[in-house]
Structure 1
Amino acid sequence: MGNKYCYQRVDMSAKTVIVTGATAGIGYVTAKHISMMGAKVILACRSEDKATQAIDNMRAEYSQWVQKRQKAKSKTKNKKRDTVEEPQPDELNLEFMKLDLTSLKSTTDFVHNYKSRGYSLNVLVCNAGIALPPKELTEDGFEKQFQVNYLSHFLLTLQLLPLLKSSSPGSRIINVSSVGHARGELNLENIQAQLSYSRIPFYGNSKLYQIMSMFSFQRRLEGSGVNVTSLHPGVVNTEIDKTYQDYWMKNVWGFFRRTGMLIDVEKGAATSIDLAVNPEYNDVTGVYFSECKRTTPSSLSRNVEKQEILWKYSLECLKDYLDDNILEQIGEDRKEVKDVGENDNI
């Protein structure tokens, strides 16, 4: 529980971190290990029951880890060792706050609730996601993978920018994307499945948009002290296949699991943790990582013209949830933000 993978344990005791989708999978591991370094970690997710159970489990696992560590220290106390004292809080500082990414109102309510508590914000880990559901529109009228994986996180980031800027330099936005982004496309005529829908391509679309928005934020946040990165965690053995309602996909994922083709969640979370805590990344922005290494995302994701088309479309989707202060933070004028579909050039 610590530096087994690509990250090192550092002192995060003065930091506050939000991790979306932190009740299971790599989000759970990410939240736990960052909290183990002393940070205050907000579990932003839908279910209070699941979050409460997750927090209890994290604290129990941490207690067991501390006990093992103390035993190991006692066995070597008379030996000369070159050691670095690592952070070890008395108790994990974890808190649940409700966030339902299928709802733009819930996303905005989360931000209002968060700000009302007077918390600062150093790191935002946009981790929550769904994969390959049947075609479904959210209450806001958007294709579900588009909204959960991308648009609501985009809104969350925009609304939390003032807090991230207040905690700069070194504030971080981390988008958990996927190598599946390489299969994505940007076609506004079918971006909400107006013409057709296929589960894998639309998953790839949502992950593509996360990376494209990273580059758009990078340009607009230059000099602000707020950095933005994105990552592919690896093909991870998580519970995401619970969202698969296709018998064939469940069998494929089950085959991957049985044959050892999936990496464990500890390794899958390592890149997210490293990007969140590593002081070497204080000035790193606009970079895509794959399994803890810098790499180059698809050529489409790097297309500036396409990035700006997506940016404009996204703002139009969210125009009722962005006040003038937020638009000013990103150098936008409300007069330029129109209803979706109002501009024929989009």
Structure 2
Amino acid sequence: MSQWTAADIPDCGEKTFVVTGANSGLGYEATKALTRKGARVVMACRSIDRGLTAAYDVRDELPDGTGGSLHVRRCDLASLSSIESFAEGVREDFDELHVLCNNAGVMAIPRKETEDGFEMQLGVNHLGHFALTGHLLDLLVETPGETRVVTHSSGAHTAGSIDFDDLMREQSYSKWEAYGQSKLANLLFAYELQRKLDAAGVTDTKSVACHPGWAATNLQYRGPEEMGSRVRYGMMKVANAVVAQSAAQGALPLLYAATAPDVEGGAYYGPGGFQNMRGHPERQESSAASRDEDVAARLWDVSEDLTGVSYDVTALAPPA
């Protein structure tokens, strides 16, 4: 098994990364590691205040005069208008975008809806990132050299299914079933995007997927907090302490997928240790359901209809 760590990230000077959910957890750790390697990181955060605090913390850990630059921007993935405004700002202020890290997410929360009426977990984890990628894809493709879209999924995708008859889980809601659906949707999207890039002859932009295993972050606590369950909160705290790896370790598959030179489009990367819950990143196989091209194509069409964001990948192809 590979012993790849953040120390193996290649020099990222002059490269621009967008990281969603960059102010906490895996996104924060990825931002910190990329900045150490000289990257220009656009921190896409729901809260500007929390984003600025995180940016100050990252800078405080770097020796004076070293590292890349940080740019905190508001991006609420539960709002299509916020996503569009964020993307417009990126396009206006940055001439190039080398990597989009679709990292932010919510997990196992009570049912609620986004600003646009989507079930929150599907809306934030999948539809928000679908819209964001669509708004930024031309900038990625037009950037010289290799560029990437990295989408964070989860091992929970194996328990997920796409219920097209009740996609927003209005008829029956289970927080874990909804989470599994959203994480399966992440993979279906990542693989379908790679197929569309291949079909259009776009060779310098790759769509890659990854998962963190079990990493100790605030993500696990949001569900119990919103439920007001001290018991579940305590159980999650114990599990994080006993089973989970650190957030820094959990961010390695994302960092590998975003920067390692041997990464392949349409591939899936995760920790290679115990039960794929911890350890160093390696290429892995996702579920058969995640590779279902018919479901992926249908989900793509539904996602375009719901978000109003259409992908014209063919138009991005290089001239013959």
Identity across aligned pairs (percent)?
A: 30
Verify: 1:30 aligned to 2:30, yes or no.
yes
Structure-1 residue corresponding to 2:265: 285
The structure with the larger Rg is 1
Instruction: Give the conservation status (yes or no) of the 8 Å contact 1:59–1:92.
Output: no
**Structure 2 equivalent of residue 214 of structure 1:** 190
Residue 327 in structure 1 maps to residue 311 in structure 2: yes
Q: What are the ranges of 5 or more consecutive residues in structure 2 without an aligned counterpart? A: 272-280
Q: Counterparts in 2 of 1:303-318, with a 5 A limit?
A: 303-318=292-307
Q: CA deviation at 1:249?
A: 3.3
Who is 1:57 aligned against? 57
The one of 274, 289, 298 aligned to 2:287: 298
Q: What pairs up with 1:244-263 in 2 under 5 angstroms?
A: 244=223, 245-246=226-227, 247=229, 248-258=231-241, 260-263=242-245
State how far apart, in whole Å, the 2-side matches of 1:55 and 1:113 are: 19
1:39 maps to amino acid = A
SS at match of 1:308: helix
Output one character per residue of 1:145-178: Cα deviation in whole Å (capped at 9) or x when no partner: 0011110101111110111001144100101110
Cα distance 1:62–1:4, how it changes in 2: closer, same or farther (>3 A)? farther
| Counterpart code for 2:313 | Q
Tell me the TM-score normalized by structure 2. Answer: 0.88
Query: Are 1:6 and 1:271, in contact at CA under 8 Å, matched by a contact in 2?
Result: no
Matched residue, 1:239: 218
Separation of aligned partners in 2, 1:198 and 1:138:
17
One-letter amino acid of the counterpart of residue 37, structure 2: M
Contact 2:45 2:73 in 1 (8 A): yes
Residues 135-146 of structure 1 mapped to structure 2, 5 A cutoff = 135-146=111-122
Is 2:26–2:250's contact at 8 Å kept on the other side of the alignment? yes
CA RMSD in angstroms, aligned pairs only? 1.8
Q: CA deviation at 1:261?
A: 0.3
| Count of residue pairs brought into register by the alignment | 298
Find runs of 4+ consecutive structure 1 residues off by over 6 angstroms.
none
Quote the offset at 1:330 in angstroms.
5.1
Deviation readout 1:30-73 (Å, 9 max, x if unpaired): 0111111111000001111111111111111122xx8xxxxxxx
Gaps of 5+ in 1: 67-88, 333-346
CA–CA distance in 1 between the matches of 2:174 and 2:45? 27
1:78 alignment partner in structure 2? none
- Aligned residue for 2:90? 114
**1:201-222 CA-partner distances (Å, limit 9, x unpaired):** 1011101000001111011111
> Alpha-carbon deviation of 1:120?
1.1
Alignment of 1:145-294 (within 5 A): 145-222=121-198, 223-224=201-202, 225-244=204-223, 245-246=226-227, 247=229, 248-258=231-241, 260-281=242-263, 284-291=264-271, 292-294=281-283
